[in-house]
Structure 1
């Protein structure tokens, strides 16, 4: 059966999709994904475009990828090689079989230190490569802002550059050879070819000889036009690199293919040129009245000491960053001005790097003490300053006042000396078209300008205006002798415009080159040559008509619309970082390396689920099993809420989806057993020993886990013999302060502290009282509704919250501070509750007064908090929700003041994540997350080093992760007596083991007695 490919070019209208899938499954060693989830997740990249792929292949080896290409050739199926999927011009979306190299084909194959080269597979991530090359003192030079997750194959496809290209050049300047395969089966290494070797290749004949003969003929026919129309500027990325074939450039076929966006051949391996790592750097930041004046100053900066990188940001970008609370610490380091140049200089020592910067400063006639100058050699300060530049895409994606900013004309380039005038003319064009002053930033040392523009892409008139604007802009940049693209390539966004830049003869030469490599037009068709129209296949467009229906969450930050919330994701791909070092998100992607288990992949599937396009692979809306399966491995860690540059909150979207998906339907049993944990804990409160006995009795526990949907490998935590609230009622309730009493705080008795770890609550009481607080604890049952929220039982969560609000009403009305000990519960009141119940004023008031323990001590104590010095080293696992919602800086300050030498681990999510790690089917992913950094760090910690973790999930994962350690809460760590708990789990629990055994024995006896009575009564009836 043939399947139609929507809007495919001539000759590609029909492909035997079932046949291709069956053949790939039979022949290819890899993951073959033709399901709705994979096709939906790969339907868009970071551009304005959307095309649903035929299917996705994740080959385990390069040879497996070659086999996949052969199968596609047999069936005439189009092919698209894809790296990180962050292309901004539509290169990595197509109605084709997508080959994603990043999951498996990501090895550093070899390193030649003397020659300063290495061989890599195309799926290796840039930061991973440079981390491995670091031991040789070498690096691959180009460094785009997506360096933590972009792949080398994608960089080759796009001819990526980045800020460091000021020193290193573009990717094309750093590629020595490429191993490629053409669509029709030719596999070979290509690189520089001298005249003698070129003659020998052509004389040998065959497909290779035919190809090289055609290339030479093409070069000779068009050499004069190539020299005439290819602009001599640092950042010409548009078009094919025909100039690489000129004799003066050595007939460099590898350089010809760099930047061809997968339209000519598939790159199988790459031999890269390397360069020494710059030992030390210094940063010079110069302020100017506006961004145009900053651009005017670029030639003068370059005239003196050549920087490693020369970047720029404008006042508008800093306004967007402040409004979105994005890297605001970096903005405090900027000098006076409304436009800034950031020049980084390298040297063998900090002093030599500083001297290069000072040389430039002297040449500009400025001094270090000027208010519009900042000079620093501090590595942390330089990193902070560069964050302002690297955050450009996230800061402008959904910016205040201009709403949605889109690519489409985001990386034009001119000669650096003409950049200021070009910016002023472009600003006039923005005014003419009614595009409210977008932010400008970019690689000014190379004349490359970045901007996201508020194109109105959801109306017919808006799309027409978009087309008119980019055509006018193309003519403008051509009048400056510039390039349509200075970094991001042509793809679909600019393929149609190439004739305006190069003229018809060069564009015809591009078509001839395409014909030589890919005569059947099966390699990423419709991009660069014979391109789709720039306003076709839009992700939105005038016909886009999504409908999510009524929702439980209000989405107050997204115009009260789930549709708008889903559109937050613009494809930056920061959630695809393979390691947790840069934050928390996205632990399931780090464990699986599957696109649909990234925040971006899930957001793409939710977008498809909205039903805005008739060809969407997700046709069953909220009932979609594909979306359900993708969200199943979301840990609801909320890391994306803070780490995603556009603030996608997948935990909230997951909760909404689960509610809608299971509405009026039977749920998985884990939703009942774990979602209703607060109620189950309350039922166990009178008989904790019996409850623990049943939870751990071999046969009963195994059966119970099976019925409850719990992972069999997990051990249920023990209920405390006395809850924290019971202790409070017995010991302290009679004398607790009343609402409105001075210096009063309410200590929140969350389910986990109350029923499992009451000693933490008691420690917190002692700590708060030592800081001068009068502590009160609610004696009635209260709950934040967390477990119901995370399992999507949102109406029940609202009921729990309303009941809690009534219990707390006297304290809320007196604006009493409420202190939370469990980060996930605190995060509910700081974020989720407001979004669930935005109309409830009491919820709003409580949110503003709900604080962490460290916030209470440092910011609200009746007197300056001067704790006893604990004088102990500690490793700290920060809870995901703490990181994402409250931020962790206050906790590190509190630990420092108490004399705790704390190392906060770059470990990401612990992997247990509330319900997630206990649910059947999640154990393997849960443990992979834990083993990525946290659990090995705990095992390696010295016995006298404390292990700190405020989250109940984190502590449980550490205890059950074969570490032999028990983690403690900050409240415990602030008490000097906690030192005794730095021993192993066995030692720490030893004093309690006999009592526990005795209690269990008593419970066994009691249970046996009850069973005996029941059996006797049963026999008497018989």
Structure 2
């Protein structure tokens, strides 16, 4: 199992005419930001969310706008191509190139001003859209209107580059329509603000002379020479393909800023943007309507558009089926109306969002619309919670369709065409016939139907010569089909490489010549993102896969059953959506290290890209020994948040464990792998003399030496081992409970058994009180978690094998296994089967492992007495969900159990606590660990009122809370349930809850 990856076939070279080493050295002397020309960073930025791959010369992470100016000047000096990048989620290949990539997202993300009176804001290009709108809403409900599905992590600069739209563009217009001015920098070094240009302003510019005057004179001359062809551009809401030359026409104010929106970094670098803000409709009503098929749904669009919806989205049955099969948003899917064709196959739905000043006004428009359509079965939602659930269904489209259970992988390439809305139904019928002709029937169809925009991911074969040829043929035929219907090849994602070479088919050679001349005005030497939009690389060139794709297939410890047993396929799972780059933890757990550092290498996507490059063996050549991969994985907290939050269900914790197993094979490991990785064995030994062990580990001199030897942060407290053992207590006590509900096997995990046995005692008391008989496994058992997280997978596999053999009699008798520590419980529900392979007892263990809440609420629906607060009301609690609980087990049953025992719970949107097992216990990780906790969890605990109950089922979470200076003690839900069942008043110390039964005193920690 120590197989190394093979040596590389060929190392990807930098452009021969660029002195990359000299360029990097010059940049390091001239800028304050990051200059990263190492192979690991180059591999990180080699692709975006598209089908294309081009390894950059290097990456610059500018800290200031002066850094940007200096970077452009230095690249000009060395003749290096240049590419500005935002969130890197582009689907057409415009965000990867053999160039110097400038990543604005880490530092250049400020809101420089908000003018509520004049409804405008000035921002830097790295700012995330949701962060902008969170700030502008405080100024009279103003927002920047376009809202792509990536709104939680897309940058304003990226939106400007693509002329992004999203669902709300039907109300607000495209990004171009909402940009007033841009501060730009040309490759030649000219820095200026551009925007609407009156004749008087134009004369002033010419009179001032210089390079700026030359640019404006050339732009106006081009406009006048091509005015007839420009006015003949297709008239439709989503004409994103090509350059936005109509913005230069006199009737549009010769707005150079809007003409540069959508140029995809091929003309200029954007330094700042002045944006138009709009008052957001204060109330929204969402209506869902079912149709027999997607084309029939599109036929209703012109009628619906007469009622001025804020957004009008179409969804087909495949998207809904794929989301259902992947267990994405099951509660939201239940809200959809029944298909009108009775079979569900081929069915479709429209989502119509109507905004207004009042709910009543919006509902009136909705009902008048439904009456005109003759659609009696529309489901109307006026509450924000259900609306948010349904929008999540739509926004999850790309992730849900890219890799489907049991189906072929699907890819972008023709994913955002747009036609006039009144022709959408006919276009869809023709397009479905084209899909069928090529055998691409698995493609799901959905999109922004109100603007005539269609999204789809298509099962192209991109790894054989014949498949690539068919891909090209299909795209060419689809382009002709869109042209026939008067549409645009791109409806919001841009042209990049995917559609750039096709523009002659859409516009004709004269207009494409005008595009080339427009670029040359700003970039005469073709150094700005070359090969994209104009002078474009072939649409089937520089493919990320291609007919020569042959990754290494190394032997692995995990089985990767959802990836056909292939680590290479697992490394390819990331689709580049970038949801892991959300800067704040308010929408899930993923990705805590990125939220702290802001570095691409610390995002789930960045790590997945490095693993992909590692098995490819070109830019990353060290295989399992590659240090750049190890460095990127080092700050992965193994929280498994990506397994749930990533739309592609990337499981970076598993990939990290696999990598560590091979990376350290035959080597001395980090000391913490021995001290903390072997914690279960150490705990069993410590239980022989816990008082002595505690005295040694907490003595000033000896304790410091123990930490140093164990590779543990000297500022961390070592956990204290319990003075009395839980298992001995269980053996010596008289069992309680009637057993009328049967027997359950309580899992004695290391953390609960040896460090927090009072929690186990509380669980026993609660289970017996509601009628269960509680048993423990015989002999030493362990889930292997600490060995898994440190990549000691051979040992973990042996430990798990022994454990499952010990549990086999219970499992074969159908006895539930109740876990208290979420991370250990999650091993049984996930990792165990992946490590052991197809094993009936391991399968039984996965099915029979239950959380306390699942047993009490889901399996037995047990009514429980309620706790009462100081004044008779429901006691307030704040709850920290363990990241593995969120990712693997699910928290709905726990939320219901909290409600049943009478708690008024505030569920913290805090993501991971930051300690994450061994991660936060080591010196190198301390700063990141605490920074993760300080995002939400620790400030919330400090701010909680004295009588507030702090709930945290995870040992790591409780430890982080207690050690970070909060002054609070967190409880496990089992303690609260036991307190409710025993009648202990809320707000009592946990010792009181545990001592209600005299025998519990023996195991208080």
TM-score by length of 1: 0.93
In 2, distance between residues paired with 1:683 and 1:626?
A: 38
Mind listing any 5+ residue stretches in structure 1 that lack a counterpart? 1001-1022
Report the CA distance shift for 1:306/1:789 in structure 2 as closer, same or farther (over 3 A): same
Report the CA distance shift for 1:970/1:6 in structure 2 as closer, same or farther (over 3 A): closer
- 1:902 equivalent to 2:902? Answer no
Cross-structure match for 2:470: 465
Cross-structure match for 2:17: 14
Cα deviation per residue 1:561-603 (whole Å; 9 max; x = unaligned)? 1111111100000000000000001000001000010000000
Instruction: State the Cα distance separating 1:268 from its structure 2 match.
Output: 0.1
Residue correspondence of structure 1 range 294-305 to structure 2 within 5 A: 294-303=297-306, 305=307
The match for 1:193 among 178, 191, 197 is 197
Cross-structure match for 2:286: 283
Cα deviation per residue 1:155-213 (whole Å; 9 max; x = unaligned)? 00000000000100100000000000000100000000012221231233211111111
Cα deviation per residue 1:905-952 (whole Å; 9 max; x = unaligned)? 101000001111112200000000000000000011111110000000
Whether the 8 Å CA contact 1:311–1:343 is kept in 2: the answer is: yes
Cross-structure match for 1:788: 787
Whether the 8 Å CA contact 1:723–1:756 is kept in 2: the answer is: no
Whether the 8 Å CA contact 1:5–1:13 is kept in 2: the answer is: no
| SS of alignment partner, residue 479 of structure 2 | helix
| SS of alignment partner, residue 886 of structure 2 | helix
In 2, distance between residues paired with 1:890 and 1:747?
A: 18
Cross-structure match for 2:343: none
In 1, distance between residues paired with 2:315 and 2:975?
A: 46
| SS of alignment partner, residue 224 of structure 2 | helix
Report the CA distance shift for 1:989/1:42 in structure 2 as closer, same or farther (over 3 A): farther
Residue correspondence of structure 1 range 695-844 to structure 2 within 5 A: 695-732=697-734, 743-844=742-843
In 2, distance between residues paired with 1:61 and 1:982?
A: 51
Report the CA distance shift for 1:736/1:376 in structure 2 as closer, same or farther (over 3 A): closer
Residue correspondence of structure 1 range 590-629 to structure 2 within 5 A: 590-611=595-616, 614=618, 616=619, 618-629=620-631
In 2, distance between residues paired with 1:353 and 1:385?
A: 18
Cross-structure match for 1:516: 521
Whether the 8 Å CA contact 2:738–2:771 is kept in 1: the answer is: no
Cross-structure match for 2:184: 180
Whether the 8 Å CA contact 1:743–1:774 is kept in 2: the answer is: yes
Whether the 8 Å CA contact 2:302–2:421 is kept in 1: the answer is: yes
Instruction: State the Cα distance separating 1:984 from its structure 2 match.
Output: 8.8
What count of residue pairs does the alignment treat as equivalent?
975
Cα deviation per residue 1:950-990 (whole Å; 9 max; x = unaligned)? 00000000001110000000000111479779579999999
In 2, distance between residues paired with 1:44 and 1:978?
A: 59
The match for 1:165 among 164, 169, 177 is 169
| SS of alignment partner, residue 454 of structure 2 | strand
Report the CA distance shift for 1:983/1:530 in structure 2 as closer, same or farther (over 3 A): farther
Residue correspondence of structure 1 range 36-115 to structure 2 within 5 A: 36-115=39-118
Moved over 4 A (4+): 4-8, 735-738, 977-991
Report the CA distance shift for 1:679/1:732 in structure 2 as closer, same or farther (over 3 A): farther
| SS of alignment partner, residue 448 of structure 1 | coil
Whether the 8 Å CA contact 1:38–1:596 is kept in 2: the answer is: yes
Moved more, 430-439 or 268-277: 430-439
Report the CA distance shift for 1:989/1:926 in structure 2 as closer, same or farther (over 3 A): farther
Whether the 8 Å CA contact 1:495–1:527 is kept in 2: the answer is: yes
Cα deviation per residue 1:226-285 (whole Å; 9 max; x = unaligned)? 112x10000000001111111111111000100000000000000000011211100111
Cross-structure match for 1:346: 355
Cross-structure match for 1:313: 315
Cα deviation per residue 1:429-478 (whole Å; 9 max; x = unaligned)? 11111112311000000000000000000111111111111011111101
- 1:442 equivalent to 2:431? Answer no
Whether the 8 Å CA contact 2:40–2:629 is kept in 1: the answer is: yes
In 2, distance between residues paired with 1:100 and 1:978?
A: 58
Cα deviation per residue 1:753-774 (whole Å; 9 max; x = unaligned)? 0000000000000111112111
Whether the 8 Å CA contact 1:38–1:56 is kept in 2: the answer is: yes
The match for 1:418 among 394, 410, 423 is 423
The match for 1:330 among 309, 328, 332 is 332
| SS of alignment partner, residue 282 of structure 1 | strand
Cross-structure match for 1:222: 226
Cross-structure match for 2:967: 964
The match for 2:896 among 887, 893, 896 is 893
| SS of alignment partner, residue 434 of structure 1 | coil
Instruction: State the Cα distance separating 1:859 from its structure 2 match.
Output: 2.9
| SS of alignment partner, residue 311 of structure 1 | strand
Cross-structure match for 1:1004: none
Mind listing any 5+ residue stretches in structure 2 that lack a counterpart? 1-9, 340-346, 869-873
Instruction: State the Cα distance separating 1:13 from its structure 2 match.
Output: 4.3
In 1, distance between residues paired with 2:265 and 2:944?
A: 47
In 1, distance between residues paired with 2:275 and 2:221?
A: 28
Whether the 8 Å CA contact 1:737–1:775 is kept in 2: the answer is: no
Instruction: State the Cα distance separating 1:6 from its structure 2 match.
Output: 6.5
Instruction: State the Cα distance separating 1:61 from its structure 2 match.
Output: 1.3
In 2, distance between residues paired with 1:7 and 1:170?
A: 38
Whether the 8 Å CA contact 1:910–1:957 is kept in 2: the answer is: yes
Report the CA distance shift for 1:211/1:19 in structure 2 as closer, same or farther (over 3 A): same
Instruction: State the Cα distance separating 1:378 from its structure 2 match.
Output: 1.2
* Greater relative CO, 1 or 2 (CA 8 Å, sep 6+): 2
Report the CA distance shift for 1:211/1:634 in structure 2 as closer, same or farther (over 3 A): same
Cross-structure match for 2:365: 356
In 2, distance between residues paired with 1:362 and 1:410?
A: 33
Cross-structure match for 1:237: 240
In 2, distance between residues paired with 1:120 and 1:572?
A: 24
Whether the 8 Å CA contact 1:40–1:608 is kept in 2: the answer is: yes
In 1, distance between residues paired with 2:528 and 2:961?
A: 49
Instruction: State the Cα distance separating 1:34 from its structure 2 match.
Output: 1.4
In 1, distance between residues paired with 2:597 and 2:294?
A: 43
In 2, distance between residues paired with 1:990 and 1:576?
A: 46
Instruction: State the Cα distance separating 1:328 from its structure 2 match.
Output: 2.1
In 1, distance between residues paired with 2:672 and 2:163?
A: 48
Moved more, 137-146 or 868-877: 868-877
In 1, distance between residues paired with 2:960 and 2:584?
A: 19
| SS of alignment partner, residue 569 of structure 1 | coil
Instruction: State the Cα distance separating 1:858 from its structure 2 match.
Output: 1.4
Instruction: State the Cα distance separating 1:820 from its structure 2 match.
Output: 0.2
Report the CA distance shift for 1:299/1:401 in structure 2 as closer, same or farther (over 3 A): farther
In 1, distance between residues paired with 2:765 and 2:989?
A: 25
Whether the 8 Å CA contact 1:180–1:269 is kept in 2: the answer is: yes
Whether the 8 Å CA contact 1:427–1:437 is kept in 2: the answer is: no
- 1:877 equivalent to 2:876? Answer no
In 1, distance between residues paired with 2:380 and 2:754?
A: 55
Over the aligned positions, Cα root-mean-square deviation in angstroms equals: 2.1
In 2, distance between residues paired with 1:266 and 1:552?
A: 47
Residue correspondence of structure 1 range 491-510 to structure 2 within 5 A: 491-510=496-515
Cα deviation per residue 1:663-696 (whole Å; 9 max; x = unaligned)? 1111111111110000011111111111111211
Instruction: State the Cα distance separating 1:361 from its structure 2 match.
Output: 1.7
Moved more, 825-834 or 545-554: 545-554
In 1, distance between residues paired with 2:734 and 2:95?
A: 64
In 2, distance between residues paired with 1:353 and 1:652?
A: 48
Whether the 8 Å CA contact 1:736–1:776 is kept in 2: the answer is: no
Instruction: State the Cα distance separating 1:44 from its structure 2 match.
Output: 0.9
